[in-house]
């Protein structure tokens, strides 16, 4: 710190995975969000990108644009941010503080052996389509914070405010999974990116989607069964794994105490299909639109 | 591109220099600035940080926050940005596009052999204090654009709008210079950072400051001789070099066709002193204040 750049030592036989993410006040978060959650979230989103490539996080750089210096706010933001750097043994090695509308850009760097990096383009027909945890829960938490739902579930709200990047899960996929992406904009859209990049299609089973009690209750009450397909912000991993690697993956994840769920399979025919109530529905790439 | 992260190969026996910079509309640039210049400037500022560490630029990541998608504007911005990536053989390996107030964050990565990285803390008493080119010219260009000066000098305006990062110059300093910094916030402030980090002081000679014809004219007309000390945006390098390396450095820079200027020397006593008109003036760390 203090110099114009941070100096970082290389890992032999690995490649550097680099990602950059921006959160804008009023677009990606409520202006009134508590700064501890904001600090957590800003880093979680960046680490999630590393997790999706099966990279091991090493360093982060933080560019913070603030309308004014508010020491108490900054301390809380740092608290949320640094707790997560500690949790994942990541070093904050550089930063930039500027004046302007509240915007947070996080740049994260991690390591992965080149052959084991998970790419969107690597899905193959016959692969299982899997996810690393509940879908739609953060989206439900957001609806609660927006007052669109008249009951509260603290777990769902916490999933929205403090998403847990699936770093250990991503590392466990090395050498076994084919393609991977993190679910930031909604399953249909994010899995859609994998299908397009891999030039394949997929069928998923509605009944197989892992849903929390709260999401089941929400769907039962509203009939809005799209939520687990279209809601973003879960930051779970959606990955594809060939059937011959399933047993080994199951063993590895069980040892780590990590749950996972098969939700469908990769097919030759392009497009995403949903099996629900005995019918097959074609699913457009619904989800969060950045513009 | 298209995956969650870029994957970058390592250089053996080198360390990675990483920097992140944000430009905010209305703070770091006029909202009406032409987008080609803005694209150029956003990258130039980041490459300048690499140059100041004597790092060889390799990759950049760009996080762009825009109020709306304006294709013509984006094309022009990309034109300015990509011309500079080409000029310095840098690969744009990742990015992020979000909606919000116009903000540009550039993250640049480069390589340097660990022992040859130039640090702010490495200045030693007896070192020459030098700069890599004219001072105050970009500041004068800014005054012209703001209408604070009633004549124009296209060269000065171009220096402000399209600063040239001193990448080759920084590489030439490897193994010869001690400390280095890029002049982004004004010579007095930036050299001040070196003095504090190195726990030394310096004296500089007013007569030795390299000034363009336009800056000389401006000072003659206004009496504002602070400009070359306080104006930022020049992105020249200010470095210190021990006398025993001067001959070798001169030879190396001459071969590259790069001009340089001795402006003073590092001393044991802390603080920055200016010799002007036979007097010695103590210089506070004047320059651009980020908050």
Our count of domains for chain A comes to 2
Separation of CA A246 from chain center: 22
Q: Domain ends where: A60, A82, A115?
A: A115
Q: What average pLDDT does chain A have?
A: 93
CA dist., res. A181 & res. A184, Å (int): 9
Query: A75 and A177 share a domain?
Result: no
Q: Domain ends where: B115, B149, B179?
A: B115
B40 in a structural domain: yes
pLDDT for residue A285: 73
**Per-residue model confidence as pLDDT tens for chain B (291 residues):** 567 788 888 887 888 999 999 999 888 888 888 999 999 999 999 999 999 999 999 999 999 999 998 899 999 999 999 999 999 999 998 888 889 999 999 999 999 998 999 999 999 999 999 999 999 999 999 999 999 999 999 999 999 999 999 999 999 999 999 999 999 999 999 999 999 999 999 999 999 999 999 999 999 999 999 999 999 899 999 999 999 999 999 999 999 999 999 999 999 999 999 999 999 999 887 776 666
Task: Say whether residue A14 is in contact with chain B using an 8 A CB cutoff.
Answer: yes
Q: Domain ends where: A95, A115, A135?
A: A115
Closest to B141 in 3D by CA, of B29, B51, B246: B29
pLDDT for residue A13: 85
User: Could you tell me the two tokens for A247?
Assistant: 């047993």
pLDDT for residue B1: 56
- DSSP per residue over A41-91, as a string? HHHHHHHHHHHHTT-EEEEEEEEEEESS--HHHHHHHHHHHHHHHHHTT-E
Separation of CA A252 from chain center: 21
Our CA angle for B170, B87, B1, nearest 5°, is: 105
A190 in a structural domain: yes
- A64: nearest CA in chain B? B22
Condensed to tens digits (0 to 9), the pLDDT of residues A27-49 reads: 888 888 899 999 999 999 999 99
List Cβ neighbours of B61 (8 Å cut-off, separation of 6 or more): A18, A19, A20, A107, B6, B92, B93, B94, B95, B96, B106, B107, B109
Query: A25 and A66 share a domain?
Result: yes
A36 in a structural domain: yes
pLDDT for residue B289: 66
State how far residue B244 is from chain A, nearest Cα, in angstroms.
25
Query: B230 and B251 share a domain?
Result: yes
Condensed to tens digits (0 to 9), the pLDDT of residues B112-146 reads: 998 999 999 999 999 999 999 999 999 999 999 99
B4 in a structural domain: no
Strands A91-99 vs A15-24: parallel, antiparallel or unpaired: unpaired
- DSSP per residue over B174-239, as a string? TTT-S-EEE-SS-HHHHHHHHHHHHT-EEEEEGGGS---HHHHHHHHHH--TTHHHH------EEE
pLDDT for residue A5: 84
B117: left (phi over 0), alpha (psi -120 to 50) or beta: beta
Which of A7, A117, A197 lies at the smallest CB-CB distance from B2?
Answer: A197
Domain containing residue B161: 119-283
pLDDT for residue A129: 98
Preferred mutation among B4, B25, B70, B117 to probe A, highest tally of A CBs within 10 A:
B4
CB contact under 8 A, A94 and B18: yes
Query: For chain B, first and last CA: distance in Å?
Result: 36
Closest to A235 in 3D by CA, of A82, A81, A27, A46: A46
Q: Using alpha carbons, list the distances in angstroms from residue B210 to A252, B6, B157, B236, B265.
A: 65, 42, 18, 11, 15
Q: What pLDDT band is residue A1 in, cutting at 50, 70 and 90?
A: low
Closest to B12 in 3D by CA, of A254, A69, A10, A174: A10
Q: Using alpha carbons, list the distances in angstroms from residue A89 to A127, A253, A257, B254.
A: 33, 21, 20, 46
Order the strands of the B261-267 sheet from edge to edge: B180-182, B237-241, B128-131, B261-267, B201-205, B271-276, B279-283
Question: Which 8-state DSSP code applies to residue B115?
Answer: G
CB contact under 8 A, B7 and A182: no
State how far residue B214 is from chain A, nearest Cα, in angstroms.
30
State how far residue A140 is from chain B, nearest Cα, in angstroms.
23
Which of B24, B48, B93 lies at the smallest CB-CB distance from A100?
Answer: B24
Preferred mutation among B20, B99, B198 to probe A, highest tally of A CBs within 10 A:
B20
State how far residue B278 is from chain A, nearest Cα, in angstroms.
34
CB contact under 8 A, A99 and B24: yes
A170 in a structural domain: yes
A230 in a structural domain: yes
List Cβ neighbours of B7 (8 Å cut-off, separation of 6 or more): A15, A16, A17, A53, A112, A114, A117
CA dist., res. B227 & res. B231, Å (int): 5
The residue-averaged pLDDT of A133-156 equals 95
ipTM entry? 0.74
Q: What is the largest CA-CA distance in chain A?
A: 62
Query: B70 and B157 share a domain?
Result: no
Task: Say whether residue A18 is in contact with chain B using an 8 A CB cutoff.
Answer: yes
State how far residue B250 is from chain A, nearest Cα, in angstroms.
25
Q: What pLDDT band is residue A94 in, cutting at 50, 70 and 90?
A: confident
Task: Say whether residue A166 is in contact with chain B using an 8 A CB cutoff.
Answer: no
A224 in a structural domain: yes
Condensed to tens digits (0 to 9), the pLDDT of residues B58-92 reads: 999 999 999 998 899 999 999 999 999 999 999 99
Sole residue written with tokens 């363009």: B212
Closest to A52 in 3D by CA, of A13, A95, A21, A98: A21
Query: B81 and B53 share a domain?
Result: yes
Query: A99 and A140 share a domain?
Result: no
CB contact under 8 A, B50 and A5: yes
pLDDT for residue B31: 81
The residue-averaged pLDDT of A152-159 equals 95
B175: left (phi over 0), alpha (psi -120 to 50) or beta: left
Query: A107 and A133 share a domain?
Result: no
CATH number at residue A182: 3.90.650.10
pLDDT cut 70: percent of chain A above it: 98
A146 in a structural domain: yes
Condensed to tens digits (0 to 9), the pLDDT of residues A101-115 reads: 999 999 999 999 989
Query: A171 and A183 share a domain?
Result: yes
Query: B128 and B141 share a domain?
Result: yes
User: Could you tell me the two tokens for A100?
Assistant: 């302007």
pLDDT at A118 over 60: yes
Which of B4, B53, B93 lies at the smallest CB-CB distance from A4?
Answer: B53
Condensed to tens digits (0 to 9), the pLDDT of residues A183-230 reads: 999 999 999 999 999 999 999 999 999 999 999 999 999 999 999 999
CATH number at residue A91: 3.30.1330.10
Query: A239 and A102 share a domain?
Result: no
Task: Say whether residue B45 is in contact with chain A using an 8 A CB cutoff.
Answer: no
User: Could you tell me the two tokens for B242?
Assistant: 């021990």
Which residues sit opposite B112 in a β-bridge? B15
Question: Measured on CA atoms in the order B83, B85, B86, B92, is the torsion positive or negative?
Answer: negative
Query: A88 and A145 share a domain?
Result: no
- DSSP per residue over B153-176, as a string? -HHHHHHHHS----HHHHHHTTTT
The answer to whether B104 and B67 are in contact (CB under 8 A) is no
Query: B214 and B229 share a domain?
Result: yes
pLDDT at A290 over 80: no
């Amino acid at each position: 710190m203090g110099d114009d750049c941070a100096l970082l030592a290389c890992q032999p036989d690995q490649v550097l995975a680099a990602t950059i993410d921006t959160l804008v006040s009023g677009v990606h978060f409520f202006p009134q969000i508590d700064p501890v959650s904001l600090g957590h979230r800003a880093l979680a989103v960046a680490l999630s990108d590393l997790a999706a490539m099966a990279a091991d996080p090493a360093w982060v750089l933080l560019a913070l644009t603030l309308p004014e210096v508010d020491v108490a706010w900054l301390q809380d933001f740092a608290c949320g941010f640094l707790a997560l750097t500690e949790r994942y043994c990541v070093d904050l090695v550089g930063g930039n503080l500027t004046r302007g509308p509240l915007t947070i850009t996080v740049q994260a760097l991690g390591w992965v052996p080149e052959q084991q990096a998970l790419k969107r383009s690597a899905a193959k027909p016959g692969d299982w389509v899997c996810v690393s945890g509940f879908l739609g829960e953060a989206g439900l938490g957001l609806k609660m914070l927006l007052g669109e739902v008249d009951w509260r579930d603290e777990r769902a709200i916490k999933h929205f405010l403090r998403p847990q990047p699936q770093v250990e899960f991503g590392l466990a996929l090395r050498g076994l999974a084919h393609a991977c992406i993190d679910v930031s904009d909604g399953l249909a859209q994010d899995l859609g990116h994998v299908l397009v990049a891999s030039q394949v299609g997929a069928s998923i089973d509605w009944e197989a989607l892992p849903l929390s009690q709260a999401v089941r209750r929400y769907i039962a009450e509203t009939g809005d069964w799209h939520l687990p397909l279209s809601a973003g912000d879960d930051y779970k991993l959606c990955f594809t794994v060939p059937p011959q690697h399933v047993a080994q993956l199951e063993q590895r994840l069980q040892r780590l105490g990590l749950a996972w769920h098969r939700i469908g399979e990769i097919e030759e025919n392009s497009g995403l299909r949903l099996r629900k109530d005995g019918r097959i529905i074609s699913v457009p790439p619904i989800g969060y639109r950045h513009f």
